[in-house]
Chains A and B, each alone.
Chain A
Amino acid sequence: MTDVTRRLSRSAAAASLVLLAPCAAVAQTPAELLRRVDANMTITTAHARAEMVIRYRGGDVRTLRYESWARGTDEAFLEFTAPARDAGSRFLRLGDAMWIFLPRVGKSVRIQGHMLRQGFMGSDFSYGDASENPSMVNDYDAVIERRDTVDGRPTMVLTLTARRANLSYPRRRTWVDVERWVPLREELFAGSGRLLKTVALSDVRRLGDRWYPFRMELDDALQTETTTTFRVLEMRLGVAVPPEVFTLRYLEGGR
């Protein structure tokens, strides 16, 4: 357990309520559960090397490798390093806005509006998924649905309903590991209740005093041709990232 978890568990244990429950999470409100998840996933800066594997129904596989830097919630920079066809393609995200740099055209382009619904480099992950940055605890109302087990881990299933209208996923169901405060599964729905995407997070590793998923499988229910797996190959938190990384100038100049 993380220090935060231990501290909260200790205080919860002092209450008679927790004596009736097999785990500390039972004492949590849905919002507190989300806060615990957010606190675990919250970092100041990060640097990662990762790969994105797109598997096509016919058996074809595409593997893209990239390197990314992030600072806080709103700043991220990503550069593809492989395959050769995509090497040098770069993305900048600042808040909800996103830009792509096309090296052989020598120009950056804003990804905006409905373009955000296109697949991110052909994957099941859309540009909108990458650019949208909702606050789970502030933008969603949560209800505890039930307890469940995912990959042997104890989870609490939360049903989330959007508080504002312009979110990509007005409803979502989330399986939260109640000991590591990591979501292990998500189902993302349209306002109509139609399932849009399923997300499975696994290979959860300890990074300092937090837990972090190193593998994610994403399946777009509306796009049956592919499934996409993201795998973090290396990740460092709390690194010093030069501030100029998160600028258009750097996007167009690159590394």
Chain B
Amino acid sequence: MTIARLVRRAGQAWVLVVLAAAPLAAQAPDHADSAASDSAAPAVRTRVTGYLEHQFNASRSRGRWTQLDHDRLRADLVARAGRGVRLEAAAVWQLYRGDTRIPLRSQLPAALGSLVDTASLVIEDRHFVNHAYLVLSPGGVEITAGKQYLTWGAAWVFNPTELFRPKDLFEPTYEREGVGALSARLPLGALSDVLVAYVPDGPFRTSGKVARARHHVAGFDVSALAAAVYEQPAATPAGAASTPSRRLVLGGDLSGEVLGLGVWAEGTWNDFAGDRWAEATLGGNYTLPDRTLLLVEGYFNGRGRPGDPYPAAAWLARLAGERRSLGRFVAYVAANRPVREVWRLGVGALVNPGDGSAALVPSVAWEFAENVELIANGLVSIGADGTEYGRGGVGGFVRGRVYF
């Protein structure tokens, strides 16, 4: 092998120190380091980590201040019991204090408040298993059994292909619970695989079934998804019981670069209880020379309305996390940059141009010690009562978290 061929794909030497990403695809035998020829296959080991978090939340809406305080302890366990066998689990204890009974009418437009009368949303202490699953990889197929992460979608905030756990739009990167499921993944290459998942929920007929394939083509990560999940039609103010209906979902996403910009797109076509609609997200990012990251994402919701007023069922469905938006078009824009060493400033905004409402979410993070995070988030609602983001008032939270 010639030297020229050896260096055909050589990289910058100092990068190797970081990634140990040694340049070059192949190597003559005389380049082998015989002093270390044993396998670097991952060893059996167990790791326990976690954090303790305290958060104080205060908000003012319709002339009334409320506070909500919580402690959250999370413990994560990862254990590998030999090659091809792994288990992961996390337990969470979360204790609330303060105004733990929130009148539903405070979450709805004044015109709809009378529909829910004195009903309240009660926030109770929680002790739960965030995820607990076993992964077995016999013969190349990866089988995962237990409460596992089934989170999909290339978009940052609005993920139409995410079927099981609604995202907190005001804090889209916050952790979410797993979903009890049995899944199997068949690898078809380094960046390609096919996944099928069965999500037990009631009898077999009403349990969720999902198939998802992903591939890397022409520089883009591409996936396609087909699912049948059973959901209750959106709750009604009368609270009438209803049977789950099948929701068929066909969708997919892609992410990659266009003209040097990171871009992503995600969409679904849905058929649920006689209602058919599409959802789509398109987004991109840009970094200024001072490392300020700008992010823009637009979301089309075929079930949404071009503007207010929105029906009561839609409000309740959004409150339950079943809808990502009330409006047909909403957008998320954000800017984020490091400032003065261990500080990071950001501002995000959810905007509904159809009804002229917006929610501004300024944030500041201060990592004043290793394994410690201090985060303050604000919320300022702009818009009239009855608009999508106009009724949230003002508020925010301060959260301190210590990892162990």
Residues of A that sit less than 8 Å from B by CB: 3-4, 34-35, 37-39, 41-48, 50, 52, 56-58, 60, 62-63, 68-70, 72-76, 78, 83-85, 87-88, 93-94, 97, 102-107, 110-120, 122, 125, 129-130, 132-138, 166, 182-183, 186, 199, 201, 207-210, 213-216, 218, 222-223, 225-226, 230, 232, 235-242, 244-249, 253-255
Given A39-B6, A73-B10, does the pair A248, B21 have CB atoms closer than 8 Å? Answer: no
Closest Cβ neighbor of A207 among chain B residues: B33
Q: Are B10 and A238 in contact (CB under 8 A)?
A: no
Residue from A76, A87, A236 in contact with B40 in the complex, judged by beta carbons closer than 8 Å:
A236
Q: Are A253 and B86 in contact (CB under 8 A)?
A: yes
- Least CB distance from A206 to B in Å reads 10
12 contacts between A and B (CB under 8 A): A3-B30, A38-B6, A39-B7, A41-B22, A43-B24, A45-B40, A62-B367, A133-B21, A214-B17, A240-B40, A248-B191, A253-B135
Q: Are A249 and B142 in contact (CB under 8 A)?
A: yes
Q: How far is B371's CA from A226's CA once the two chains are assembled, in angstroms? A: 18
Q: Are A110 and B341 in contact (CB under 8 A)?
A: no
Q: Hey, which chain A residues are within 8 Å of B108, CB to CB? A: none
- Least CB distance from A98 to B in Å reads 10
Q: Are A119 and B338 in contact (CB under 8 A)?
A: yes
Q: Hey, which chain A residues are within 8 Å of B14, CB to CB? A: 183, 186, 199, 201, 213, 216, 218
- Does B173 have its Cβ within 8 Å of any Cβ on chain A? yes
Q: How far is B342's CA from A45's CA once the two chains are assembled, in angstroms? A: 35
Q: Hey, which chain A residues are within 8 Å of B340, CB to CB? A: 225
Q: Are B262 and A50 in contact (CB under 8 A)?
A: no
Q: How far is B86's CA from A103's CA once the two chains are assembled, in angstroms? A: 15
Q: How far is B18's CA from A93's CA once the two chains are assembled, in angstroms? A: 12
- Least CB distance from B397 to A in Å reads 18
- Least CB distance from B51 to A in Å reads 8
Q: Are A182 and B13 in contact (CB under 8 A)?
A: yes
Q: Which of B1-53 contact A (CB under 8 A)?
A: 3-4, 6-27, 30-42, 45, 47, 49-51
Given A38-B7, A135-B9, A226-B341, does the pair A106, B31 have CB atoms closer than 8 Å? Answer: no
Closest Cβ neighbor of A76 among chain B residues: B21
- Does B201 have its Cβ within 8 Å of any Cβ on chain A? no
Q: Hey, which chain A residues are within 8 Å of B368, CB to CB? A: 60
Given A47-B40, A60-B341, does the pair A106, B176 have CB atoms closer than 8 Å? Answer: yes
Q: How far is B21's CA from A93's CA once the two chains are assembled, in angstroms? A: 9
Q: Hey, which chain A residues are within 8 Å of B39, CB to CB? A: 239-241
Q: Hey, which chain B residues are within 8 Å of A135, CB to CB? A: 7-11
Q: How far is B183's CA from A249's CA once the two chains are assembled, in angstroms? A: 13
Closest Cβ neighbor of A201 among chain B residues: B14
Q: How far is B260's CA from A37's CA once the two chains are assembled, in angstroms? A: 30
Q: Are A208 and B33 in contact (CB under 8 A)?
A: yes
Q: Hey, which chain B residues are within 8 Å of A56, CB to CB? A: 341-342
> What 0/1 pattern do residues 75 to 88 of B give for CB contact below 8 A with A?
01010100000100
Residue from B13, B30, B35, B80 in contact with A37 in the complex, judged by beta carbons closer than 8 Å:
B13
Q: Which of B349-383 contact A (CB under 8 A)?
A: 367-368, 370-371, 373
Residue from A52, A73, A253 in contact with B23 in the complex, judged by beta carbons closer than 8 Å:
A73
- Does B286 have its Cβ within 8 Å of any Cβ on chain A? yes
- Does B200 have its Cβ within 8 Å of any Cβ on chain A? no
- Least CB distance from A172 to B in Å reads 8
Q: Are A84 and B403 in contact (CB under 8 A)?
A: yes
Q: Are A72 and B34 in contact (CB under 8 A)?
A: no
Closest Cβ neighbor of B290 among chain A residues: A222
- Least CB distance from B119 to A in Å reads 32
Residue from A34, A136, A246 in contact with B190 in the complex, judged by beta carbons closer than 8 Å:
A246
- Does B149 have its Cβ within 8 Å of any Cβ on chain A? yes
Q: How far is B42's CA from A253's CA once the two chains are assembled, in angstroms? A: 12
Q: Hey, which chain A residues are within 8 Å of B76, CB to CB? A: 88, 103-104
- Does B284 have its Cβ within 8 Å of any Cβ on chain A? yes
Closest Cβ neighbor of A58 among chain B residues: B341
Q: How far is B335's CA from A118's CA once the two chains are assembled, in angstroms? A: 13
> What 0/1 pattern do residues 240 to 257 of B give for CB contact below 8 A with A?
000000000000000111
Q: Which of A41, A62, A93, A254 has the most CB of B within 10 A?
A: A41
Q: How far is B53's CA from A184's CA once the two chains are assembled, in angstroms? A: 44
